[in-house]
Chains A and B, each alone.
Chain A
Amino acid sequence: MNIVVAIKHIPSIADELPVNGSNIDFDSVDFVLNEFDEQSIEQAVLVKEASGGTVTVVGVDLIGELDNVLHLALAKGADNAVKITADEPGADSHQQAGWLAEAIRGMSPDIVFTGVQASNDLDGQIGPMLAAYLDLPYIGGVSSVEVNGGTATVNKEFAGGVGAKYAVSLPVVVGVQAASKPPRYAPISKVRQIAQTAAIGKVAPSGDGAGAGLALKKMAPPVATGHAEMLTGSSKDVAAKIVELLKSKGLA
């Protein structure tokens, strides 16, 4: 079985997000793997382990640093890694999905995994777009996948533990909410070893790709309509203030 995982390298939201003009200042932020892609890589490797096949991870190299992410994916059990050399830090989801579709079409996938969403999906997620460009069905919000012959059985989550089971004829694009098991840990020594030996495939994107058709006017932190009353002082002071507050409201 030919299993493909399409990933997204995105600005980290753990730190400050400086703005340059009307967008994020991409030169001043760290890029990380979309957290849902960690789930989708895990789900792909779990499917391979249960049903056989190869896992190919492919992503758009926006800032020339995708190798680190691809090495980690290989250390976690992916077999092949491919980067699309776009060097376009601000590429939107439509552009990335277009380039990914180009690269993936030639791989003749049986199943394509993506993260269900990313925090910078201003113009929507790459999963459903990939499905549209590849003319495959899409199902997202998925929390488990089992493949038997030409059929995948997937669980889709709605909310509060309510979900539904679907049977899908392959090929299909799946948006993973959570893998059926928590993502495995790859020891740093293994990642380092792979970084020295792994061959990463390179694909050049053909042209700029069709963009999202959005004119970005402004990017700024939300204007707060309210703000928490901040409890200050040492950790002990903060603890004392919280306990006092809870006692005053009859909650402790």
Chain B
Amino acid sequence: MSNDVFVITEHMEGKFSDVSFEMVGKAKELASALGGQTVAVVLGGGVDAGVFASDAALQVEDPALVQFNPEACGKVVEALVREKSPRLVLFGWTATGMDLAAWLSARLGQPCVAYVKGISVDGGGLTVSSQVYGGKMIAEVAPQGGMAVLAVLAGSFPVEAGQGSTAASKVASPVPLDGLKIKFVEAVKPAAGDVDITAQAKLVSIGRGIGGKENVELAEELAEALGGTVSASRPVVDAGWLPRTRQVGKSGLKVKPKLYLMLGISGAPEHLEGMKSAELIIAINTDKKAPIFNVAHYGATADLFEVVEAMLELL
């Protein structure tokens, strides 16, 4: 067992995601406290892997790793981790990292913490904070045992601390990657034709609190009166009340409008990822403990329908 900290980075179309740098920056601090090294693990080629501030960078190249493949990535990471026995393995709590972290934990019989917001080392012991229950609670846990797998929420640590120029050593896959059960077929591009919510200056964004498809019209009226567009949190889109092109958040789009007026959105971490840089955030919610009130600039605990109708009269 070493005291190294492995960061499983992620990239798409030749570019690393911010969370990769965020994790490397944090990993440096942790490795220094633990007395180990920081290793940035890059799965697949087609990207310049010499961009991290880690002690080492390891780029695994194989035809099966050209596009993201959870089975291929899982096999490679498991083999690397078994061979090198790092103290910590960091993944992003992202569309790719979420396929791998809990799986690796179960394969290795080592603990996993998801929704990670903070990590600290104190006298060799590890304390991890996790933002659970839709952002309503922070759990502080101490992973037991010699290794821990952590899945980190994007935006938890600064990007800059992870940026650097450590040259990557390129290696072949430590395990054969033929006979995979999962095969990449093709990339899927976003559906065109709808308004681009990332280009809108004003968004009226609706959440589960809107209650039903029949109420979307009210939000549309308000958006129109303000000269903006309606966007939504994931549950609204999953319920089929608005198309996926309107979804803000981790699995949707990242927006930075001048106005983000939120109706009935509680503010789960996945949603915050997509809108927290908006210039003016106003949230209306019936739950006074909704996490969104820790992020919004202005808030009101009120019935959104009454407020919207009254606003329409004034506009």
Residues in chain A within 8 A of chain B (CB atoms): 11, 13-14, 16-17, 24, 35, 39, 93-94, 97, 116-117, 119-129, 131-133, 137-141, 153, 155-169, 172, 175, 177-179, 181-183, 210, 212-232, 235-236, 238-243, 245-246, 249, 251-252
Report yes or no: B251 in contact with A222, Cβ–Cβ below 8 A.
Answer: no
15 A-B residue pairs with CB within 8 Å? A119-B134, A122-B132, A124-B149, A125-B102, A127-B102, A132-B107, A138-B103, A164-B187, A165-B187, A166-B69, A213-B111, A221-B137, A232-B300, A235-B307, A238-B284
Chain B residues positioned under 8 Å from A239 (CB to CB): 306-311, 313-314
A contact face: mostly helix, strand, loop, or mixed: mixed
Report yes or no: A164 in contact with B294, Cβ–Cβ below 8 A.
Answer: no
Report yes or no: B103 in contact with A235, Cβ–Cβ below 8 A.
Answer: no
Q: Pick the contact of A251 from B138, B259, B266, B302 — CB < 8 Å? A: B259
A93 vs B258: C-alpha distance in the bound complex, in angstroms? 40
Closest approach, in angstroms, between the C-beta of B306 and any C-beta of chain A? Answer: 3
A131 vs B106: C-alpha distance in the bound complex, in angstroms? 9
Report yes or no: B106 in contact with A128, Cβ–Cβ below 8 A.
Answer: yes
Q: Pick the contact of A129 from B102, B141, B144, B234 — CB < 8 Å? A: B102
A245-B282 contact given A122-B114, A213-B144, CB 8 Å threshold: yes
Report yes or no: B134 in contact with A230, Cβ–Cβ below 8 A.
Answer: no
Report yes or no: B311 in contact with A242, Cβ–Cβ below 8 A.
Answer: yes
Give 9 nearest A-B pairs by CB, closest first: A161-B190, A124-B102, A239-B310, A228-B299, A235-B306, A182-B240, A132-B106, A128-B103, A213-B111
A116-B186 contact given A35-B235, A158-B12, CB 8 Å threshold: no
Chain A residues positioned under 8 Å from B135 (CB to CB): 222
Report yes or no: B99 in contact with A219, Cβ–Cβ below 8 A.
Answer: no
Residues in chain B within 8 A of chain A (CB atoms): 12, 67-71, 74, 94-96, 98-107, 109-115, 127, 130-145, 149, 151, 180-191, 202, 226, 234-235, 237-240, 244-245, 250-254, 258-259, 261, 266, 268, 280-284, 287, 289, 291-303, 306-311, 313-315
Chain A residues positioned under 8 Å from B143 (CB to CB): 213-215
Report yes or no: A181 in contact with B240, Cβ–Cβ below 8 A.
Answer: yes
B contact face: mostly helix, strand, loop, or mixed: mixed
Closest approach, in angstroms, between the C-beta of B251 and any C-beta of chain A? Answer: 6
**Extra 11 A-B pairs, beta carbons < 8 Å, given A128-B98, A251-B280:** A94-B105, A119-B268, A128-B102, A167-B185, A169-B181, A179-B238, A217-B127, A226-B294, A230-B300, A240-B310, A242-B298
Report yes or no: B99 in contact with A13, Cβ–Cβ below 8 A.
Answer: no
Report yes or no: B112 in contact with A252, Cβ–Cβ below 8 A.
Answer: no
Report yes or no: A139 in contact with B252, Cβ–Cβ below 8 A.
Answer: no
Report yes or no: B186 in contact with A164, Cβ–Cβ below 8 A.
Answer: yes
Report yes or no: B301 in contact with A230, Cβ–Cβ below 8 A.
Answer: yes
Report yes or no: B311 in contact with A123, Cβ–Cβ below 8 A.
Answer: no
Q: Pick the contact of A217 from B133, B140, B297, B310 — CB < 8 Å? A: B140
Q: How many residue pairs between the two chains, A and B, have CB atoms under 8 Å in the bound complex?
A: 292
Report yes or no: B185 in contact with A153, Cβ–Cβ below 8 A.
Answer: yes
Report yes or no: A123 in contact with B185, Cβ–Cβ below 8 A.
Answer: no
Chain A residues positioned under 8 Å from B68 (CB to CB): 158, 164
Report yes or no: B185 in contact with A121, Cβ–Cβ below 8 A.
Answer: no
A235-B303 contact given A121-B132, A220-B137, A228-B298, CB 8 Å threshold: yes
Report yes or no: B252 in contact with A182, Cβ–Cβ below 8 A.
Answer: no
Closest approach, in angstroms, between the C-beta of B150 and any C-beta of chain A? Answer: 10
A21 vs B90: C-alpha distance in the bound complex, in angstroms? 29
Chain A residues positioned under 8 Å from B283 (CB to CB): 228
Chain A residues positioned under 8 Å from B12 (CB to CB): 158, 162
Q: Pick the contact of A13 from B114, B133, B144, B254 — CB < 8 Å? A: B133
Closest approach, in angstroms, between the C-beta of B90 and any C-beta of chain A? Answer: 13
A182-B239 contact given A119-B132, A165-B188, A243-B315, CB 8 Å threshold: yes
Q: Pick the contact of B187 from A13, A162, A215, A238 — CB < 8 Å? A: A162
Report yes or no: B303 in contact with A166, Cβ–Cβ below 8 A.
Answer: no
A161 vs B303: C-alpha distance in the bound complex, in angstroms? 32
Chain A residues positioned under 8 Å from B184 (CB to CB): 164-166
Report yes or no: A251 in contact with B130, Cβ–Cβ below 8 A.
Answer: no
With CB as the reference atom, state the residue of chain A lying closest to B107. A132
Report yes or no: A159 in contact with B252, Cβ–Cβ below 8 A.
Answer: yes
A153 vs B184: C-alpha distance in the bound complex, in angstroms? 10
Chain A residues positioned under 8 Å from B299 (CB to CB): 228-231
